[in-house]
Amino acid sequence: MKLLFLGDIVGKVAREKVINSIPILRKKLSLDFVVVNGENAAGGFGITSQICNQFFDSGIDVITGGNHSWDQAEIVEYIENEPRLLRPLNHVMGTPGRGHNVFNTYDGKKILIINLIGQVFMKPNENPFLSIENCLKSSNLGKTVDVIFVDFHAEATSEKMAMAQFLDGRVSAVIGSHQQIPTADSQILDKGTAYQTDAGMCGDYNSVIGMQKEVPINRFLGKISKDRFRPASGEATICGVVIETSEITGLAKKITPLRVGGRLIEEWPN
C-alpha cells in the first residue's frame, strides 16, 4: 500500500494548492490513501466544516488535528458526525470526536489512522504513550488491519523519536507534525516502522512557520503589537512523506519525502 501524509496546511494559499494538487498527486504517485494535518487550514487557526468538505472532495481521505483543532467553534458539532476528521486521541475524556478510526481503501484493505498530541511544551493532555498502548490492544498490524499510521503532533523532537521507538514493529509509520519544518531524518527503524520527525508544513516558507514575518519578529523583539498572526500569502510548498508498506506484514518498505513548489528544493519519490 502507498500512503501520502501532508504536514500542517497553513492558510488559504496552502489549502488551495493542496486541493488543486491532490488529484494530480494521487494519479502520478499511484496513491492508495491520503492523510493531511488540517489544524491550521482556516487562516492559520483551526479548520471549518466547509474546508473539510473541500479537502474530502479533492481526494483527501482523512484529516488529522492538533493543538489548534478547536480554534473554530463550529467544528465541535461537525467533528461528532464526521469520522474522517480526527482530533488527538489523548485529549481528556469527554472531548468531542475521535482520535482514531479504521478506514477501508478502494480495494478493501483496512487502515487504522491514529492522531496523537505531545506533552512536552504543550498544554496538558493525557499521556500519549499510554493512550496509544491502550488503543493498539484491539488492532494487530498485518492481522486485523493492513496499515497503522500515526500522526504525532508534538513540539519536542525527543518525544517524537521516543514514540517511534516505542511503537517500532507495531505500526507502519510514525510521522511528526506541528513544528512545520521538514526534517531530514526519514528512515525505517530496526523493526520496520517508518519515521520522520516532522513532515513540514504546506505553506509559504518565506515566513515564520507559515505566518507573515513582521508580527512574530516584533514579538521576539519584545514590542507590543495589536496585530495578530496572519498566514503568509506567497507561493506555497507542499511538504509531506510517501510511505510504502508490505502487503503481508503492514510494515514499511520505503519512506520518501515529498516537496513540491514554492521556495524549497523539490523532492519526489522515485
Q: Which residues are catalytic?
A: 68
C-alpha cell at 94: 469527554
C-alpha cell at 45: 487557526
Paired sense of beta strands 33-37 and 2-6, if any = parallel
CA dist., res. 100 & res. 113, Å (int): 6
Closest CA to 199 of 246, 170, 227, 239: 239
Cβ-count burial of 94 within 10 angstroms (0-12 exposed, 13-18 middle, 19+ buried)? exposed
Ramachandran area for residue 95 (φ above 0: left; ψ -120 to 50: alpha; else beta)? beta
The CB-side HSE value for 91 (13 A sphere, CA atoms) comes to 20
Closest CA to 254 of 264, 268, 269, 239: 269
Point out which residues pair with 259 in neighbouring strands: 239, 267
- Dihedral sign, Cα of residue 72, residue 74, residue 75, residue 76: positive
Ramachandran area for residue 52 (φ above 0: left; ψ -120 to 50: alpha; else beta)? alpha
